[in-house]
Amino acid sequence: MSENNEKKGFFSEMIFNNPVFGLYLGICSTLAITTSLNNAIGMGVAVIVVLVLSNIAVSLIAPLTPDEIHIPVYIVIIATLVTLVGMLMQAYTPELFSALGAFIDLIVVNCIILGRAEAYACKNGVAASARDGLMMGLSYTFSLLAMSLIRQLLGTGILSFSNPMSGSEIFSIRLIPQGFEIPVFKTQTGAFLTFAVLAAAVAAIKLNSEAKEKAKALEAAKAKKKEAAKA
């Protein structure tokens, strides 16, 4: 595969196949926890770990799992991984665990994770399934970061990030003068507004890309007709 095709594939997975803005999955947690960069990165890492490990596990046991019980089996695998991740977060990043609250446990029913297990991991090899989990997890994290950057900046005027283990501040930069913040972006109304704008932007980029692809296909077809006529 050429470098251009690889870049196009990565861009496509990050934008066009984005689980939040492109496929509209995992929206509940995205709207709820994207009030800060800490929350976004913490949830993103947790989902990446669960996605990659669950995809690997499902890929390994899929040939041995009867069709009648494969969904419950996948849920048990995902729930076990989420429990382990939650316990590790509670032990090593207690402040982040408290901030994310019940949404850590709700990773179990996140449509992205069960969806990838059912649609991809159970039908493909371990390496491909691990890559799929990583790409979907990164794409989900990209969505969280995009929303949290906008909401934190507009809502507080400050971009900040703290060490999730010690709680010590790593950086804090005020980019909007005090008094010019838009507090609504710290609320769920702001979450819906941010999501709507970003989802519309992704849809516009996707439509524009599809239009260009169609135009190229038409030009190629016309060129072939001209060559055939000359022959």
Tens-digit pLDDT profile for residues 146-166: 999 999 999 999 988 887 777
Evaluate if residue 175 carries a pLDDT over 80.
yes
Q: Could you read off the pLDDT of 18-74 as tens digits, one per residue?
A: 888 888 888 888 888 898 898 899 899 999 999 999 999 999 998 888 888 888 898
Evaluate if residue 3 carries a pLDDT over 60.
no
Q: What is the pLDDT of residue 152?
A: 93
In a domain, residue 48? The reply is yes
Domain containing 156 equals 3-226
More confident call, 103 vs 182? 182
In a domain, residue 231? The reply is no
Domain count, the chain: 1
Report pTM.
Answer: 0.83
Q: What is the pLDDT of residue 120?
A: 87
In a domain, residue 92? The reply is yes
In a domain, residue 147? The reply is yes
In a domain, residue 141? The reply is yes
**What separation in angstroms does the CA of 106 have from each of 32, 46, 75, 109, 115?**
12, 12, 12, 6, 15
Q: Could you read off the pLDDT of 59-113 as tens digits, one per residue?
A: 999 888 888 888 889 899 999 999 999 899 888 888 888 888 778 888 887 888 8
